[in-house]
Amino acid sequence: MDKVIRETCIAGAVIDRTVKASFPHGGSRRPKSKPTTDAVRKNNDRIAAKHLTRLINANFMPGDLHVTLTYAEVVSVEQANHELDLWLRRMRREYRRRGKEFKYIAVTEYQNKRIHHHIVMAEIDFSTINRQWTAGRIRCTALDETRSYKALADYLIKETQKTFRQPDNAVKRRWKASRNLTRPVVKREWVSVRELFRDPKALKGYQLNEDSIRRYQNPVTGLEHLEYQMIATDPEPRLRRWKKGRKARPETYIRMDEFRDQEKELGEEEGTWELC
């Protein structure tokens, strides 16, 4: 029986799955063709957004914050990075004083708009953020109750998709993150080809996110893909721990320089799960 690859990732209250063919359904592999630059970029942006979604879902929850830091004056990219590092250092001290752990993901955008930083971070009072950022204005919103933050990750990747590829980009990475983040785990396994074409169903204790269901041909490989999310219906997700595992490659079809740093940051592992 034909087999396809199924990837399952548990990240916080969300399980996301990708089912993908290794060969075109019903035939042999197509002749190789060189994908367009635009197709490669779109594919890499999609993979980056998937990794970032998992990272946010695994580490942040409703009530945590999406903070935007702006500058009152025009500053260079180097100065902005320096100011951000100083602010992160001061915020780390503030959290430590309260006996809390400072987790964050930071994205910097500097093309078409004045330089600004997006920070996804653990909850803290606004007055503390405002006191420690003196370079400009602050916009602060709480993460919503969905516990699935794909839309936020897509927005942050879109913010950087142009500047990230500039040869003089001083940021070098799509995002920077604290070292204490939980790294999402990915299980990869062979399953029946029927999973690629039948309607997805949620596991017990989870609800299918209908808006997340996506069927498409990968723009680089031309192979069929199915993606979807399941969100826990209980406050405490039932499926939340992995047993022993081993290294697995992150999803990538054409390696680009922009993913070298990301691959070092994202320690995805293969394993099995247990129902809690």
User: Mind listing the pLDDT tens digit for each residue in 207-265?
Assistant: 999 999 999 888 878 899 999 999 999 888 876 555 544 444 455 433 444 434 444 44
pTM score: 0.81
In this structure, the number of other CB atoms found within 10 A of the CB of residue 260 comes to 10
| CATH 3.30.70 correct for 65-177 | yes
Residues 1-54 pLDDT 10s: 588 999 999 999 999 999 999 876 555 555 555 666 787 788 888 889 999 999
Residues 113-131 pLDDT 10s: 789 999 999 999 999 999 9
Q: What is the DSSP code string of 146-170?
A: TS--HHHHHHHHHHHTTGGG-TT-S
Nearest to 53 by CA among 164, 224, 186, 162: 186
| Segments of the chain assigned to CATH 3.30.70 | 65-177
